[in-house]
Structures are given as C-alpha cells and as structure tokens.
Amino acid sequence: MFNQKQMIMITGATRGLGYALAHHFAKKGANLAICSRSEADLHAVQHELKQYGGEIVAVTADVSVPNDVERLVSITENHFGRIDTLINNASIFGPGPLYLADYPDQAFKDVLEVNTLNPFFMTKRVLPGMLARKSGSIINLTSEVGKTGYAEWGAYSISKFAVEGMTQIWADELTDTGVRINLVDPGEMDTTMHQIAVPTCDYELANPHDVLDVFDYLASSESQMVTGQRFEAQSFSRKETRT
C-alpha cells in the first residue's frame, strides 16, 4: 500500500518521465523534493504541483555535481526530516544517433559523467538517513539499451549498462539493511529524449503518464522485501509480484 505521507525525491522532474512522476505522486498526497538544472522550469513545475496540496521542495541542482547533491539532500532532510523514496531519473542522451567511431570525445565523457555519477552521488548521500531508519527505496532508471547494445545509441547506452551494474552492487552491499534498490526500464516513451535518439520514429510510443504503476509498487510497503530487481514498466503487473 502507498503511504500518502511519504517523502519522495525525484531528480530531473521538469520534463518527460520525471514530470509525470512528480504530478503522479503529488496527486497521491506525497510530499516531494524535485530538482532540475533549469531554475525557470523547476519553479513552473513547483507552481503546478502546489494545486494538489502537498509540500514541495524545489532545488535547482546538477546532480552529477557533489556540492549540488549535498545542498539538495540537506535542504530536503532539514525540511522533511527524511527521504523515503529516491527516484534517480535525471539523465541526458547526448548527440545522436551516432556510431561510436564518430562520437565526439567530450560529449562521450559528459554523458558518462552525468548518467553514472548522478545516481552514485545521490544514492551515497541519501543512504545514511535511510540506513539509520532501516528503511528506504531507491529506484534507478534504465533502458532496453542498458542490457542490449544497439548501434547509434552511443554513450547513453553505455551509461545505462553502468547503472545496471552499479545497482546490482548496491543491492548486494545493502542486503539485510532495510534499504532496497531496484531498476525500472520505462520502455520507449513519447519524450524529447526519444526524439533525439530516434528522430525518424514512425511507431506509437507510450505516454510517460501511463507507465507509473511500477513506481507506486516500489515506493510502497508491498515491495519492502524486493531489491536488486529489474522491472519493465510497460509490462508490469502487481498480480505477478504476488505469485
């Protein structure tokens, strides 16, 4: 069951899946901490979310930068006292589609740093509070290209392979602590990132607002014994988790 009083932190909350998640959990009555690198976009989303009545902390931050991570989490913990669920959603695609042989060196470095460092820094920073309470859920976003390499997905694909491995390591190290960490592959969605990755897309894509059931599950007490698992959001069924 989802606890309406939960405190949920969502990175990259101003567009795409992060935006859908912020609205979804705000409607459910959760208290939220959201961040984005764009101050204007962040404040616009914060204003939208206030209509639902919950408390919203919004902090402009680049979560691949340790000082920004420290500021985001410290402000959130000072305001709410805890973080129950962290959703590491923020990521960038970089240039594309491109073959690796043509990939710009600096862009390759930038994508790997942003997409792998931010879930590492965020997880490491929220862990002390979660471990002290012996409770917490961390959700990392992945992709089909995080387990299967496809041409022209470049550094983004490589970064998601890294996130999947990092999540497995965290899960093993956090065994029996009460803190759980899992992966969600939301599938192909109608987002700006997908437009960059597949500019010639000619097939129907999922709406980010329609792939959120798995996040409800992983943020709820139903999943308190689930860790180190990979979920595909578009085929997720709660019935299957009970068998």
CA gap 132, 146 in Å, rounded = 32
Q: Is 99 a catalytic residue?
A: no
Torsion region of 30: left, alpha or beta (phi above 0 gives left; psi -120 to 50 gives alpha)? beta
Q: Indicate which residue of 19, 103, 156, 217 is catalytic.
A: 156
Q: Smallest Cα–Cα separation from 73: which of 142, 5, 166, 138? A: 138
Q: Are 167 and 122 a contacting pair, CB within 8 Å?
A: no
- Which string of DSSP letters, residue by residue, matches the chain? ---TT-EEEESSTTSHHHHHHHHHHHHTT-EEEEEES-HHHHHHHHHHHGGG-S-EEEEE--TTSHHHHHHHHHHHHHHHS--SEEEE------S-S--GGG--HHHHHHHHIIIIIHHHHHHHHHHHHHHHHT-EEEEEE--GGGTS--TT-HHHHHHHHHHHHHHHHHHHHTTTSSEEEEEEE--SBSSHHHHHH-TT--S--B-GGGS-HHHHHHTSGGGTT--S-EEEGGG--HHHHT-
Active site residues: 156
